[in-house]
């Protein structure tokens, strides 16, 4: 991708996240990207186009980040842990495309909604697949509604973006692990949980100081 296009999306992401799409002006984006409004117009015909491009980038990067993170193991339960980590790290520390995708959906012009919704659906189906594989191990409760579980977990994780502060002393990875233990305790059969679940849980709950990553 053209480095100038990249600068635009980076600047737009930061501004959209801070103030929202509608409250951000094209002039601000251009200035933050180090160019004049006319130059931005040359790259993206409209402000809406910037938003759509940014959201599509968000889906792309999220899928890429999670895919890469889970590749190191075949255990579906462990994959969920690593996937949650990757998602939350992208949301808290990566560029702002995933945040904008999640929190500025309202601002999409109706015409573009369908396309972005479809991309977003691909990401959700990706998670449903991971959850289905975990369920397929037989180690979980007889949960029938994978979608409801996904909405539960992704809701908790996505909401972190509204309150997480890096200076809290906890890393996104630690928050993700803590949430994963909540989910594992809540949704897995008691006799089939990861052997080290209790110790992970206790360690995370008793020492909020940063230790890893």
Residues that bind its own copies (CB under 8 A): 18-23, 103, 105-107, 141-145, 148-149, 151-160, 162-163, 175, 178-179, 182-187, 190, 201-202, 205-206, 208
DSSP 168: G
199 binds DNA per the rule CB under 7 A = no
Q: Applying CB under 7 A, what is the total number of residues that bind DNA?
A: 18
DSSP string, 68-117: HHHTT---HHHHHHHHHHHHHHHHHHS-SHHHHHHH-GGGS-HHHHHHHH
Binder of residue 180, out of DNA, its own copies, none (CB less than 5 to 8 A by kind): none
Does 41 help bind DNA (rule: CB under 7 A)? yes
Q: Least separation, in Å, of the C-beta of 71 and its own copies?
A: 27
Q: Which residues pair with 188 in a beta bridge?
A: 140
Q: Which among 50, 54, 58 has a CA at the least distance from the CA of 25?
A: 50
Q: Does 67 bind DNA (CB under 7 A)?
A: no
Q: From the CB of residue 138, how many other CB atoms can be counted at a distance below 10 Å? A: 9
Q: Rule CB under 7 A: which residues touch DNA? A: 2, 4, 24-27, 35-39, 41-43, 45-48
């Amino acid at each position: 991708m053209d480095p100038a296009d990249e600068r635009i999306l980076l600047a737009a992401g930061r501004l959209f996240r801070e103030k929202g799409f509608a409250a951000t002006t094209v002039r601000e984006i251009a200035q933050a990207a180090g160019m004049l409004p006319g130059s931005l117009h040359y790259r993206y015909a409209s402000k809406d186009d910037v938003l759509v491009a940014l959201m599509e980038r968000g889906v792309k990067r999220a899928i890429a980040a999670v895919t890469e993170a889970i590749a190191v193991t075949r255990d579906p339960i462990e994959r969920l842990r690593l996937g949650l980590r990757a998602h939350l790290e992208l949301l808290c520390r990566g560029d702002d495309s995933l945040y904008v995708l999640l929190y500025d959906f309202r601002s999409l012009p109706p015409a573009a909604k369908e396309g972005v919704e479809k991309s977003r659906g691909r990401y959700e189906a990706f998670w449903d697949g991971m959850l289905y594989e975990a369920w397929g191990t037989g180690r979980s409760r007889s949960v029938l509604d994978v979608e409801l579980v996904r909405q539960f977990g992704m809701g908790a994780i996505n909401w972190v973006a509204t309150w997480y502060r890096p200076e809290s002393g906890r890393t996104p990875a630690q928050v993700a692990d803590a949430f994963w233990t909540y989910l594992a305790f809540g949704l897995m059969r008691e006799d089939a949980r990861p052997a080290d679940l209790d110790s992970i849980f206790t360690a995370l709950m008793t020492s909020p100081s940063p230790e890893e990553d």
